[in-house]
Structure 1
């Protein structure tokens, strides 16, 4: 049997031989003092990918307002009763109310954010509350129950209000500069607070601590999903969270 003629007559074998010879030429295997070497590179080089930038919604707020008036307003609004201040000091405020026994439960529910004691014989109740507690509860009240936390930022204390933007505000934030939008928020808060308190400073962001904690949560969840190699980091003075998906298009990420 003529082996050469048989091979040349089989097109697939011919193509295979051509590819083999081409591959050998491409990798150029050589032998030297260090053993075999070639142009073959091991590993995978990944190009492209997507980056997602996340900004948590919320505001940092500083405000001024008289504690006693704020507490009175909050109780009357929530319990739907009329109360009168009897006395107060730096730690407590005492109020009187008609027929305390009939509204005691309502007042208890209205002051879960403070410590309240009752004197039914005198028809009075005493609320142990700080200025910060009163301010935090007021901010929560005017933002439909948003979570409000006292945080430290730029060597000062701020109230972090985890308030979501309305659809209108989401449109506005894309059309305004940061300063313009924060000016809008100042006006909005002043309108909601009325005569009870005044916002003295505001930033449309959450605290660095909250951003870092959220980054850690995201990183942990990705790790649980087997995606531990996806970088999750904070950027721009801990204002944003950046998530990098290597070799993944944005639609897939």
Structure 2
């Protein structure tokens, strides 16, 4: 009979799943030992266990609500492009249910339609009567304010419809006094709320903050480093942890991803914004053909339309050599070239999505193509960021924390084992119980290794908490099974196991519900604790606890506990 017991355990599908989970966890963790490096695993450790550095950056921007005098604003915009005084003739406000304003202007300067198209307003026309240019603009107040602030601040300004008005996001550093002075120049001002406070705040909108965070996370981790957590604090700050990386290197890495922009030459040395890096959908590997090195990239629908519009408005389709395309990373030029004749011809009628940037034919050109690939991948930030805080955890201190965390886990396991043995006084109960608890820890670590999740001190605290709650559940199972001090008949055993698991599942559900807000709302370090606890509880109730119930019955039967 003794040879049949193992076969009985292995025939249970829950036991087989348990064994598979253990083996997969070992594969994911990949423990190994070498004389040079000692014991190591595939686990990723956070800043407090690995040592390293942290950075805090501020998103440069402002969000406002404002009004302006439409005629004065239009006049200022046209004056900037023609370099001569412009007089307001008439302003026709929008009719009921419409938003288009018709503005008539005149100036002694010669004005072309191409110049007006550069403003990016809805529509415009110009005619020459005697020595005067008569201009008619068809636009909206939103367009006027966004275009005016964009030109004056040399930055992107995005209008957003909000309840009760329009909000303007200025994607560069803009102090309140600076904005108010610019608005005052065109008869405008900041709006106020019901309390009389001016509608101005530093930072950016939540959507822009989240986009910046996502791009930073993707670009930093694309450098081949360990997973770098990127967290947001309000709408103005982003925190980054660089485990195992010194502060100097962390600053260098964080500063590489920047604000990428494509601009087109208008007249002389002046350029006009076309698109940002978020309109680049993909970047290919540099290749050589037709005797030249090229870096291929693709634009989104909006990006392709924006480039087509800019090429037509500036006249690049007719004279490419006078209207080069320039690429900037953090306001520094990284590439410049005219449209090819074939591209200029095609883009006249249709937007072009797939592009190739040529860098030349020699080895230096190859290096330039590879560098341009990096710029294209790294330059998708919609706003500039400024380093406002930093710190470092010494590697030796992180190693000490790691050892102390392991020691704390072992001590907690030994303490639990002592309490269990004192309660039951039977090794055949103690060994399966401790083995089950160890297996849960192993599966949690396997899960962490598989998903690339960084372990930090709160995560270790969560694992220790899981050990405690797991032993509680195992005690419930054991007490139900040995309610009368001995292993009951199978029918009674199944009834008691079912009752024990009803209690366990209710307790597990309560724990998961209690921890869920910390995961969803992301309260910093507490998030790691909550995730570890939830994962540990799920592994326990779905995999480990059912197997313990089966094993304890088999072990006690083997020891002759059943009457």
Are residues 1:88 and 2:92 paired? yes
Q: What TM-score results when the alignment is normalised by the length of structure 2?
A: 0.31
Cα distance change of structure 1 residues 189 and 233 upon mapping to structure 2, 3 Å threshold: same
Q: Is the 8 A contact 2:111 2:126 kept in 1?
A: no
1:44-55 equivalence runs, <5 A: 46-55=49-58
Q: 1:162 Cα deviation (Å)? A: 1.9
Q: 1:247 to 1:127 in 2, by over 3 A?
A: same
2:113 is aligned with 1:116: no
Judging changes above 3 Å, is the alpha-carbon distance between structure 1 residues 118 and 188 closer, same or farther for their aligned structure 2 residues?
A: closer
Higher relative contact order (CA 8 A, sep 6+): 1
CA 1:156–1:127: 2 relative to 1, 3 Å: closer
Residue aligning to 2:155? 146
Residue from 97, 100, 104 that aligns with 2:112: 104
Is the CA contact (8 Å cut-off) linking 1:65 and 1:198 kept in structure 2?
yes
Cα distance per residue 1:151-192 (max 9 Å; x no partner): 467997421112247xxxxxxxxxxxxxxxxxxx33332223
Report the Cα distance in structure 2 between the residues aligned to 1:42 and 1:110, rounded to whole angstroms: 60
Q: Tell me the equivalent position of 2:81.
A: 78
Match of 1:223 among 218, 221, 224: 221
Unpaired runs of 5+ in structure 2? 1-38, 95-99, 192-198, 251-563
| Alpha-carbon distance change, 94 to 62 in structure 1, aligned in 2, over 3 angstroms | closer
Q: Is the 8 A contact 2:53 2:241 kept in 1?
A: yes
Does the 8 A contact of 1:74 with 1:110 survive in 2?
no
Q: What secondary structure does 1:194 align onto? A: helix
Match of 2:177 in 1: 187
Determine the C-alpha separation between the residues in 1 that align with 2:50 and 2:80. Answer: 59
Query: Cα distance, 1:72 vs. partner?
Result: 2.0
| Other structure's SS at 2:180 match | helix
Seen in structure 2, the aligned counterparts of structure 1 residues 228 and 210 have a Cα distance that, compared at 3 Å, is farther
Q: CA deviation at 1:98?
A: 5.8
Distance 1:96 1:71, change over 3 A: closer
CA distance in 1, matches of 2:91, 2:203: 38
Tell me how far apart the structure 1 counterparts of residues 212 and 126 of structure 2 sit (CA, whole Å). 41
Report the Cα distance in structure 2 between the residues aligned to 1:51 and 1:153, rounded to whole angstroms: 36
> How well do the aligned residues superpose, as a CA RMSD in angstroms?
3.2
**Match in the other structure for 1:159:** 168
**2:207 alignment counterpart:** 209
Deviates more, 1:62-71 or 1:72-81: 72-81
The structural deviation recorded for 1:242 is: 1.5
Q: How many residues align?
A: 192
User: Aligned equivalents of 2:114 and 2:202: distance in 1?
Assistant: 35
Larger helix proportion of the pair: 2
Question: Contact 2:63–2:203 at 8 Å: present in 1 too?
Answer: yes
**Cα distance change of structure 1 residues 127 and 225 upon mapping to structure 2, 3 Å threshold:** same
Contact 1:153–1:207 (8 Å) recurs in 2: no
Given the two structures, how large is their TM-score scaled by the length of structure 1? 0.63
| C-alpha distance in 2 between matches for 1:194 and 1:129 | 21
Counterpart CA distance in 2 for 1:93 and 1:155 is 23
Pair 1:69 & 2:72 matched: yes
Aligned partners of 2:71 and 2:103 also within 8 Å: no
Q: Distance in 2 between matches of 1:109 and 1:239?
A: 35
**CA 1:152–1:214 in 2, change beyond 3 Å: closer, same or farther?**
farther
Q: State the alpha-carbon separation in 2 of the partners of residues 154 and 57 from structure 1.
A: 25
Q: 1:156 to 1:56 in 2, by over 3 A?
A: farther
Gaps of 5+ in 1: 1-40, 166-184
Contact 1:86 1:95 in 2 (8 A): yes
Residues 1:155 and 1:66: Cα distance change in structure 2 (over 3 Å): closer
How far the C-alpha of 1:211 sits from its partner, in A, is 1.4
Find the residue that maps to 1:74 and give its secondary structure.
helix
SS of 2:224's equivalent?
Answer: coil
1:224 Cα deviation after fit: 2.2
